[in-house]
Amino acid sequence: MEWTDDGIILGVRRHGEGNAIVELLTAAHGRHLGLVRGGGSRRHAPALQPGNGVRATWRARLDEHLGTYTMEVTRTRADRLMGRAHAAFALGHMAGLVRLLPERDPHPELYGLFDDIAEHLEEATLAGMMVARFELVMLSELGFGLELDRCAATGGRNDLLYVSPKSGRAVSAAAGEPWRGQLLDLPYFLVGDVPEIPDPTEIDAAFALTGFFLSRRAFEPRGLSMPETRAAFLAALARERAAIG
């Protein structure tokens, strides 16, 4: 068995004497692990870092085997991402969400989104918006997509300001007003393009929305809590906001 694909390094762990098991999110083969011989050596370790893009060839005698990777780094991002706390935590959080997906299950659109976000993640003004959108896409990839294109009560597509925590469906301003305290806010940037970067209030509302459904639909059924990397990312992002003023 053999294939070659583009990938992003999600994680690396040492294996035996100087080797490493590398976890990739690939364009056509999903989240996929493989052994890199010598990957734990001083020569190779600096290149095999989370966030870096690679061109990888995987080989194994049988498809179900771990197999081995040979890879060439095509995009070096790790140094600049690890140099910013919010970017490092965001990368770890996104990788953790991807691990909820079955191994070797292709998600090409998710790969493209991850790759684009990783390229710009160190920009603190964009990071909150990008990661919130990533969480929304992850809900869909996990089979728990929210219905945010029309009002659950009226079927209309205008003034969608809320989301029902029970159904995960959008609710218009008029239909939701009587139950406003029981609904989640729906920031527009989650459903459409915006000309300016959302303000902190909208970013916080987006994470409240995606966090609610990730917890209820993705983590709690697995007996898991929301990952600490998410809270660490949001705290680091808040510090960046304060520093920017």
The whole-number pLDDT of residue 44 equals 82
Task: Answer whether residue 168 is part of any domain.
Answer: no
Residue given tokens 């659109």 in the structure block: 109
Domain of 41 in residue numbering reads as 2-76
- Give whole-number Cα distances, 214 to 10, 52, 108, 142, 239, in Å: 20, 26, 21, 10, 24
Mean pLDDT score, 108-113: 97
For residues 219 and 130, state if they share a domain. Answer: yes
For residues 207 and 106, state if they share a domain. Answer: yes
For residues 60 and 105, state if they share a domain. Answer: no
Which of 48, 76, 104 finishes a domain?
A: 76
**DSSP secondary structure of 16-65:** TTTEEEEEEEETTTEEEEEEETTTTSTTTTTTS-TT-EEEEEEE-SSTTS
For residues 196 and 133, state if they share a domain. Answer: yes
Amino acid at 205: A
In a 13 Å sphere around the CA of 141, the CA atoms on its Cβ side amount to 22
Mean pLDDT score, 111-132: 96
For residues 130 and 235, state if they share a domain. Answer: yes
Count of structural domains, the chain: 2
The pLDDT confidence band at residue 241, using thresholds 50, 70 and 90, is confident
Mean pLDDT score, 89-107: 97
Largest CA distance in the chain: 65
The edge-to-edge listing of strands for the beta sheet with 184-185 is 170-172, 160-163, 184-185
Mean pLDDT score, 58-73: 95
The whole-number pLDDT of residue 213 equals 98
Whether the pLDDT of residue 231 is over 80: the answer is yes
Task: Answer whether residue 193 is part of any domain.
Answer: yes
Per-residue pLDDT reduced to its tens digit, 146-162 = 999 999 999 999 999 99
CATH number for position 44? 2.40.50.140
The pLDDT confidence band at residue 42, using thresholds 50, 70 and 90, is confident
Per-residue pLDDT reduced to its tens digit, 166-225 = 999 999 999 999 999 999 999 999 999 998 999 999 999 999 999 999 999 999 999 999
Mean pLDDT score, 136-147: 97
Whether the pLDDT of residue 85 is over 80: the answer is yes
pTM of the model: 0.95
